[in-house]
Chains A and B, each alone.
Chain A
């Protein structure tokens, strides 16, 4: 009797636990989908004033806030919204309109010569440097920025967008740039400044996206009287001067008498904080409200190593916005709680997350295996690992739909029911592969076993790994998953010959598909730091030089397609990129794209205006406002 009682109690306890577990977790598939729609922002009557407070769990500056070297999207958003103006800029709004370059420092769009080789910009009158410079921005300031880009010691991480394109810039760089020419006296053939407001660029070849490149922070003006003291990568980041509506706190105290007298600005510490205050020299008449509205008086971004605490503080009203990756439970709370839903904003991040396959390494050197991988992959499972629908749309091709104006929205070459994988189609494809020796739809050659799969140690990749393994196992490919802290360096090294990796993602540099297609350009393949992970277009000569082995003959190249698209403009250009995307997914198949990543942000109810900035993939800081009465 006693034993039966105990057994009954245990059974009851098990049932209770099972019920409890069933009530927990789960994904957002059963939600009403409201949280997965693109956010239209918030506008509850914005008033000027107040301090906008945000926190991040990691700054991760790539160039220590030096515009010449930075490639981090965080920096782009902050700089272009608040700190610096470039010849061309953006309106910092969502969707396609936000990706369209508009005149910023320039008073109008450039005059472009017939042959597309000469671009002439005129700088607006009245755009001033903030204190302590207190002077008009000139064309020489813009030219100086390009001298910095061409200075090897400054490690311009986007320098390749300009070197080799602007006449004479590569030669200036080869000669050492400002390191050898500190006064900036050596002429650069392709940059002329006939007067203080005019700057002319001459190009080596036409570039349909030159205006986009000019809109990048590295191409923004830099004051020589300050920056000349900082000719090592990252140093100028502690002294960034403002042409925008805000400046780094403490800028007015910078003693520019000499290099010896300058001390790092109080308001920026690369490991702790960024504090911006209004630039007294900013004239809104030289700007547009479409681009910048500048509501708050002060901006604070601080570091908080506890990501959960950041979200708790937003909920408690002690911060206005969480600039950190949301833990899964936060995503769940904000996307299912009616009281929190309107504080959770989701927009397309113009980013694709993908699994990359090496075209030289078995079994992925066979296109049928690559196609089978696309058919079988449980993409919905991978998205759940990320946090479900709020994290993005299932990706079916390379370039995010928002960057192609939706031209390829219906292009789903490997669609499956619920995006959970299609075993039948995968097996049909596998049967055509040389690695399916008995043509039963299962990869059974020795090369199908113990295939190295590289991924990250962190989430969601750790959770994704078994999903990928299971999917591939269904078609007979046994993966040997290895997780690395520094997984990117592993897959960027050609000699390591990684067959398949799931740690990769790519976001735009600016809104042109060329910034994605660079990943398939064989001319960018490097021994180290390589981003063409699939080695598309690799030639046998390159393979020999780089030490790559495996299948190195007959690898399809799309270099000519890329070159052809690069010369086009506007709709023709867009259509060309879309065609190339289709070609890559049908005829080359280097990836299994699985997620078009969203940019999602949580705000407090003290935010009276919220807008998303499509160009940077971040909040449009220049349009945000706070209701001081609701702040804690």
Chain B
């Protein structure tokens, strides 16, 4: 298993690099216009455009730009990092890509360092700093929603499977239909309207993100609505998936054998039935969580949670290329990493699966 994990991690790095290459082609090579023009003012002169191109590194050839991106990613921001963003503990870089060497420095509170993701064209801040600030917001949203949708979805799915063709099954699948059909943006706006406009006492559930360290209660109350809204869609999917899988599994011979052996029904369902039917759920869960890292755009926008998804859209709209590629790197890594986690959990759930 250890060798398998190491091999997968190496593949993860390769996958991330391939994704960055694809991203580079899509955003740097293919667009019809010169991104420097957008940042050179209302009436850009050729001199201003040239200056912006130089500052953004767009005056280099495309292969040089990509090579520069890779070097910076692996070696750190180096001299591109403005003075006020470098960690106070940093050693002054003497070459363009020297890694900041002071122990613990590169992961300090400063914006620049390693991995080097460059400077945002738009805000002239270190992309790394933006991502460090935004990632906890997105993770807070995803983790909370994931807990809710797993608990809710699996529970409803189990109930529905066990009470097939009863009113409980109908209600559960009706819920699933609603959850799948209702657009997230509509759900979010309606939820806000009900809880923050019509119910003034629920003002604490308003939009925006509150740092956990600043106000844990505020963090929680401001996330209840976005958690619920985001979780509803996935809970619906998971309920249907769990129901279908459990119905199939409960019809297997080994389940009949377990019952024949006199095992309690609860044990038959949860230890033997549910465990086997959860493997596709686990696969789906891993991918869903990973994709939400940069993909919870609508929820983040509706609830003003300025996370990675929102940053990705803002960056795409404003042609902020380093910001976009920075988000892509994070998301690609998250997807690849979660795939690995899912495979490991899969092996735990299903003893037939072994990695060598």
Contacts and interface: CB of A to CB of B under 8 A. Distances in A.
A304 interface: yes
Nearest to A157: B41
Given A235-B84, A306-B302, A529 B31 contact: no
A270 B124 contact: yes
Interface string A522-545: 001011110100000000000000
A61 B320 CA distance: 13
B301 A155 contact: no
A524 B48 CA distance: 13
A300 to B, nearest CB: 13
Contact of B43 (A60, A237, A262, A531): A531
Of residues B41, B46, B49, B200, which shows the largest number of chain A Cβ atoms within 10 Å of its Cβ?
B41
Given A62-B41, A526-B44, A529-B40, A303 B306 contact: yes
B147 to A, nearest CB: 24
Q: Which one of B32, B33, B82 has the highest number of Cβ atoms from chain A below 10 Å of its Cβ? A: B33
Contacts of B318: 60
B303 A160 contact: no
Interface string B178-212: 00000000000100110011001001001110000
Contact of B304 (A157, A237, A306): A306
Interface stretch (A226-234, A473-481, A618-626): A226-234
B39 A232 contact: no
Contacts of B169: none
A509 B41 CA distance: 12
Interface string B8-49: 000000000000000000000001111001111111111111
Interface stretch (A23-31, A108-116, A308-316, A390-398): A308-316
Contact of A305 (B37, B196, B304): B304
A280 to B, nearest CB: 24
Contacts of A304: 207-208, 304
B214 interface: no
B306 A153 contact: no
A212 B55 CA distance: 30
A485 B45 CA distance: 22
B52 interface: yes
B339 interface: no
B221 to A, nearest CB: 15
A157 B316 CA distance: 23
A509 B38 CA distance: 18
B315 to A, nearest CB: 11
A260 interface: yes
B48 A308 contact: no
A156 B189 CA distance: 41
Contacts of B314: 58
A447 interface: no
A229 B83 contact: yes
B55 A155 contact: yes
A51 interface: no
Contact of A238 (B48, B84, B206): B84
B310 interface: yes
Highest count of chain B CB atoms <10 Å: which of A238, A272, A490: A238
B124 A237 contact: yes
A119 interface: no
24 contacts: A58-B314, A60-B318, A64-B122, A64-B123, A69-B41, A152-B47, A155-B41, A155-B48, A229-B84, A234-B124, A235-B124, A260-B83, A271-B130, A304-B208, A306-B304, A313-B206, A485-B317, A486-B38, A489-B32, A489-B33, A526-B46, A528-B37, A529-B43, A531-B43
